Amino acid sequence: MRIVALETLRPAFQKNLCVVVLHTEDGQVGLGDAFMQSAAVEAYLHDHVAPLLVGQEHPSPEAVSQLLAPYVGFQGGGVEVRGNGAVDIALWDLLGRHTGLPVARLLGGPVRAEIPVYNTCAGPDYIQDTSRQTSANWGAVEGRYEDLTAFLNTPGALAKELRAEGLRGMKVWPFDHAAEASGGTRITPAEMDRALAVVREIRDAVGMDLDLMVELHGLWSRQAAVEICHALEPLQPFWVEDPVRPDAVDALGALCDEVGVPIATGETALGRRGFLPMLGQGRISYCTVDVQWTGGLTEARKVATLADTFAVPVAPHDCTGPITLAACFHLTMAQPNALVQETVRAFLRTWYPRVVEGLPEIRNGLARLNDSPGLGLTLTADLRTDPGTRCRVTELTTVKGRS
Ligand SMILES: [Mg+2]
């Protein structure tokens, strides 16, 4: 299983995505993806990772994660971590293909046959252009599966539509405009009313028949976040997500003590060391680790197990690419404390299938894996041939001292 080339593909239709393909001597490929600042990740992978990785015989994910550990850029999910996370996911995929086993089995599972999913109400173009979490990066406002527009304007109808599809949960972020207006420092009564109306309308439409996740994107200061959480308490959200930045650990702990809603956090937290201070306080209710942003499956499963030690379920983050989502499903099938998997129907039905085939089928709000080796994915033929896709390859012959 000697690695002979590292290839990256950056599609024009999603500028934040960098697909990583590891090629082996015997013609196998392992797939991974990195999301946000794809050009910087691409440069890092070819300049730094390929010279270390290409030419390696039987590279194990654990050994490579040690090999690639950077001296700087390892906190907070920097370019290095996202690149390493994509490589790690590709190595698990390769290992599965090499052994003929699904990654969920390599991880010691499965412990379940299916996992519930919830829908994050983004549109197809959400986070398309830049890596910033602002309304300027929310994408188009009209079209099929524009669930962001729908939750802002017709939240009750959207909730009914999702429930009719069999989904058991939905996530919305009606407070973000108010956070932008004040830099997260305060929310006016009028802004609070407007945002709460979205949540109220969902509850009026479907009652408690749908789990409701309210996303705050870590945009708020503590006092404003506390006020929002208090206002949400009567509407019984399943969780409030990232009320403040997850690295504002003391503020998060104080907030969790003050409010009467469950708190989920962690998609931008990094690794065991990033999660331990939050889990150690015994206050967060759900761990929303991002399998790629936290450094790959090798680290994510340790985070999930650490969360289990503190009796906290994991609910992995999506929005970071279809290959990462597949890795999430393999993790949740193998992880005893997995609760639910985030998905975005607008991505699953538009650009995710333009990258790969073979993602798990979701029926009645439940995802089920098949027995395909590795992650079970195949790159679409169109991705390489699309003239808008930027392809770059570092081969064994070009890596100094390794040919
Ligand atoms: Mg989130």
Ligand 1: centre distance to CA 217 (Å): 6
In this prediction, residue 132 carries a pLDDT of 76
Ligand 1: centre distance to CA 44 (Å): 26
What is the C-alpha R_g of the chain? Answer: 21
Can you tell me which residue has the tokens 């207006």? 181
Query: DSSP code of 213?
Result: E
Ligand 1: centre distance to CA 98 (Å): 34
Ligand 1: centre distance to CA 6 (Å): 30
Phi-psi region of 164 (alpha: psi -120 to 50; beta: other; left: phi over 0): alpha
Asked whether the beta carbons of 331 and 115 are under 8 A apart, the reply is no
Please list the alpha-helical segments (H only) found in 30-137. Answer: 38-44, 50-53, 61-67, 79-99, 103-106
Q: Which residues of the chain have pLDDT under 50?
A: none
Ligand 1: centre distance to CA 305 (Å): 20
User: Which structure tokens are listed for 47?
Assistant: 């300049």
Return the bridge partners of 117, or none. Answer: 341
Going by C-alpha positions, the residue among 358, 357, 356, 324 that lies closest to residue 343 is 324
Q: How far apart are CA 339 and CA 117, in angstroms?
A: 9
Ligand 1: centre distance to CA 342 (Å): 9
Ligand 1: centre distance to CA 215 (Å): 6
Ligand 1: centre distance to CA 315 (Å): 10
Ligand 1: centre distance to CA 176 (Å): 12
Ligand 1: centre distance to CA 343 (Å): 11
| Apex 385 CA angle, 380 and 388, nearest 5 | 105
DSSP string, 221-236: -HHHHHHHHHHHGGG-
User: Which structure tokens are listed for 162?
Assistant: 């999702």
In this prediction, residue 401 carries a pLDDT of 60
pLDDT tens digit sequence for 219-277 = 999 999 999 999 999 999 999 999 999 999 999 999 999 999 999 999 999 999 999 99
Asked whether the beta carbons of 290 and 81 are under 8 A apart, the reply is no
Helix (H) or strand (E) holding 217: none
DSSP string, 298-342: HHHHHHHHHHHHTT--B----SS-HHHHHHHHHHHHH-TTB--EE
Structural domains of the chain ordered from first start = 3-100+379-398 (3.30.390.10), 105-374 (3.20.20.120)
In this prediction, residue 397 carries a pLDDT of 82
Ligand 1: centre distance to CA 267 (Å): 6
Q: How far apart are CA 260 and CA 146, in angstroms?
A: 32
Ligand 1: centre distance to CA 296 (Å): 18
Mention every residue, 6+ apart, whose C-beta is less than 8 A from residue 195: 174, 175, 177, 178, 187, 228
Q: How far apart are CA 95 and CA 58, in angstroms?
A: 9
Return the bridge partners of 22, or none. Answer: 6, 30
User: Which structure tokens are listed for 319?
Assistant: 């929005």
Ligand 1: centre distance to CA 317 (Å): 7
Q: How far apart are CA 388 and CA 376, in angstroms?
A: 26
How much helix, strand and coil, in percent to the nearest 5, is found in the chain? 40, 15, 40
In this prediction, residue 144 carries a pLDDT of 87
Q: Where are the beta strands (DSSP E) in 138-200?
A: 169-172
Ligand 1: centre distance to CA 234 (Å): 22
In this prediction, residue 402 carries a pLDDT of 59
Can you tell me which residue has the tokens 């070009």? 398
Ligand 1: centre distance to CA 99 (Å): 34
Is residue 41 helix, strand or coil?
helix
Q: How far apart are CA 34 and CA 355, in angstroms?
A: 13
Ligand 1: centre distance to CA 48 (Å): 30
In this prediction, residue 70 carries a pLDDT of 85
